[in-house]
Amino acid sequence: MPSAGARLLRAHQVPESYREPGILSGYRPPRSSARECLRSLFGMNNETLNVWTHLLPAGYLLWLLVARLREPGASSGPSGPSGTSGPSSGPFLAYLGTCALYPLASSAAHALGAMGGHGRHRAFCCDYAALSLYGLGSALAYSAYAFPLEWVGSTFHEFYVPVAVLNSALSTGLACYSRFLEAERPSLSKAFRTLAFVYPYLFDSIPVFYRLFRSAAGSCSEGSLPLHSRHSLCALLTFLSFTSRLPERLAPGSFDFIGHSHQVFHICGILGTLFQLEAVSVDMAERRGHLPLPSSLETFGSLGMGAAASLAILGVCFRSLRPEPPSREKSH
């Protein structure tokens, strides 16, 4: 399955911090250069599909964003609902930008994941920061377009975005801190990383969960709710694939190149984002005029504060990284 001439290693030939449970082969040489990492994307290894399952959707989402910015008068969400342009579209544009950013950062992190020194850790910390900003972008979109009408103007609505900004910073900090625990306490590292993204998702989704609950109780029916349900299902599958390490845990070595849990994690995550994007577009069109919209300063100010906090945390983490210990690779 690997391309001809590719130099790939087995798990026992790479440092423990590079290994993934249940993945026995297909590892790129540790401490590769950036050029070697990028060249490896065009051959088959255990990271190839992790890169492409996010890089291709990132291209699509960037295309949507550029189209929206270049054609402000055009109607459209991804499938054409009207009302996603004009003065009311600031939160949507901020959200769409974060939708494009996180898969792009993720694909870059996986592409450079075989680098040595600080490069590998810096790439993944940037990935975590982008994912945290996506959570904030989702909160901005939900606050503007998806809040239950009876909650609009409530204390919870007023504090929803400020808390989401704080959650974004906490998410970046906790996820980046997990990198420092990875070598000596991998289980705790994974638990911190999971918490870093599950908690903000649950908080951001409170308005949507409430609307879904009302729909299940038969008290309302809105066109976006089936799409929000699919997004929630994909989020659950994303969580399960990340935490369970299935299917490779059941058959180590059988899913080294295709079908392992991180690929499933990526696919479920990006499908969830596409469903969410459709749902937000429908909410925008159906609820136009029913929700007070924030100013551009409020929207992009909140996003800017979240980004500034994440950049500051990244700076602290980058300065605190210590050199990796000498490799203890085995030759057989």
CATH number for 144: 1.20.1070
- Which domain does 199 fall in, by range? 32-320
Peptide bond into 186 cis (omega under 30): no
Q: Is residue 9 part of a domain?
A: no
Q: Is residue 55 part of a domain?
A: yes
Task: For 145-161, give one letter per residue: b (16+ CB within 10 A) or e.
Answer: bbbeeeeeeeeebeebb
Show pLDDT as tens, one digit a residue, over the chain (332 residues): 554 445 899 999 998 888 999 999 999 999 898 999 999 999 999 999 999 999 999 999 999 999 998 865 544 444 444 444 454 689 999 999 999 999 999 999 999 999 877 888 899 999 999 999 999 999 999 999 999 999 999 999 999 999 999 999 999 999 999 988 887 888 899 999 999 999 999 999 999 999 999 988 776 667 899 999 999 999 999 999 999 999 999 999 999 999 999 999 999 999 999 999 999 999 998 877 777 889 889 999 999 999 999 999 999 999 887 655 554 444 33
Distance CA(239)–CA(197), nearest Å, equals: 10
Q: What is the pLDDT of residue 71?
A: 67
Q: Is residue 24 part of a domain?
A: no
Q: What is the pLDDT of residue 323?
A: 55
Distance CA(231)–CA(272), nearest Å, equals: 4
Q: Is residue 125 part of a domain?
A: yes
Q: Is 239 exposed, middle or buried (0-12, 13-18, 19+ CB in 10 A)?
A: middle
Distance CA(49)–CA(326), nearest Å, equals: 29
Distance CA(190)–CA(279), nearest Å, equals: 30
In contact, 28 and 114? CB cutoff 8 Å? yes
**In sequence order, what are the residues at sequence separation of 6 or more whose Cβ sits closer than 8 angstroms to the Cβ of residue 155?**
none
Q: Is residue 325 part of a domain?
A: no
Number of C-beta neighbours around residue 287 at 10 A: 18
Phi, psi of 172, rounded to the nearest 5 degrees: -60, -45
Number of domains composing the chain: 1
Q: Is residue 150 part of a domain?
A: yes
Q: Is residue 11 part of a domain?
A: no
Q: Is residue 171 part of a domain?
A: yes
Task: For 198-237, give one letter per residue: b (16+ CB within 10 A) or e.
Answer: bebbeebbbbbeebbebbeeeeeebebbbbbbbbbebbeb
Of 13, 298, 74, whose CA–CA distance to 165 is shortest? Answer: 298
Distance CA(23)–CA(4), nearest Å, equals: 21
Q: What is the pLDDT of residue 81?
A: 40
